Amino acid sequence: MAGELNMSKINTADRSNRSVHVGKWANIFGYNLLTYWLLIMVAILVLLPIAWIIASSFSPRALVWQNVLPFSLKAFLPQQFYLGGYEAIFQKGFGQALLNTLFVGFSTVILSIAVCGAAGFAFARMHFRGKNILFGFIVFSFMVPADINVIPSFLLISSLGWVNTWQALIIPAVANGIVIFLFRQFFAEIPQEIIDAGRVDGANWFQVFTRLILPISKPVLISAAMVVFLGQWNSFFWPLLVAPAAQYRMVQVAVSIIGIEQNVNLWEQMFASATLAMLVPVLLVVPFQRYYIGGIMGSGLKG
């Protein structure tokens, strides 16, 4: 009789444990389902306007708004495949703006990685007077809105005679506080033994940095390159201010100018230029997002 009671208690306890586990997994599944549903809805809200812009870039001007008011799902498909918008923007110099921005972007990336990487390594591994104070100023620099520095920066560029030059577009963006911070945080996580081994073998600091540190810093190098390049690609006000000449025109400035003629909105040209302006960042971010996330995580910027 006692044995039967014990078995009954054990079975009851097992059923209770199973109920608890089932309830726990049901709650987790419900939470995950709600999270994914919200993420899908946000993604749809973000992607639908982009899909409409891309579809409209391949439509004649007369058909751009045809299925929008009233709204129809046909708005997301070109009713008539039309490349006139793309042909028109390239005739107006949009191709030159793309090349200009690529040149400025890659030039800035190369110089910025050299300067900011060296600065980040110095802050992470070298000891000198006032290092923490100086690093505090660098951190403060990227917390200050960039618009505050526009007037003194323009006066400096103007006094140097750099208006409408490549220098005005490239040099001010080379030293980047966020990029220095990324490098410093990443280099601080590298084991000291690697540096000590290089120093024992007779390597100077430059050799340690270029031969030992940089080869194992792929994630932060890609992260820094993407931050700098996308910053230049999306830059609008500064290029408009210091390089208004057509031969130095950057892509975002070209997007704002192309598509407007004599108070007429050339919608297919606007959307064509916007589509191409979106294309390069997407092609850059998607294949390298794994390294970008790795660089952010390795730098200590964990969410």
Asked whether the beta carbons of 169 and 242 are under 8 A apart, the reply is yes
Contacts of 107 (CB under 8 A, 6+ apart): 166, 170
CA distance 208 to 121: 10
Check residue 277 and give its pLDDT: 92
Mean predicted lDDT score pLDDT of the chain: 83
Check residue 9 and give its pLDDT: 47
CA distance 278 to 267: 16
CA distance 291 to 296: 9
Check residue 253 and give its pLDDT: 93
pTM above 0.85?
A: no
In tens, the pLDDT along 186-230 reads 898 888 888 888 888 888 888 888 888 888 888 889 889 999 999
pLDDT < 70 stretches in the chain: 1-31, 262, 292, 294-303
Check residue 172 and give its pLDDT: 92
> Kind of pairing, strands 264-265 and 260-261?
antiparallel
Check residue 238 and give its pLDDT: 93
% of the chain at pLDDT higher than 90:
32
CA distance 288 to 291: 5
Domain boundaries, the chain: 2-76, 85-298
**Could you tell me the CATH superfamily of domain 85-298?**
MetI-like (1.10.3720.10)
Check residue 196 and give its pLDDT: 86
